[in-house]
Amino acid sequence: MNPQGINIDFKNTTPITTNSGGQIWQQGFVLRKISKFVTGTSEDAILPIPVFYDPETNEILREGVPKELVDILFNEE
- How far from 15 is each of 11, 24, 62, 71, CA to CA, in Å? 10, 10, 15, 25
**Every domain of the chain and the residues it spans:** 24-73
The predicted model scores a pTM of 0.75
What distance lies between CA 13 and its chain's CA centroid?
A: 20
pLDDT at 3: 59
- How far from 75 is each of 27, 48, 71, CA to CA, in Å? 21, 19, 5
Residues of the chain with pLDDT under 50: 1
Nearest partner of 24 among 77, 61, 66, judged by Cα: 61
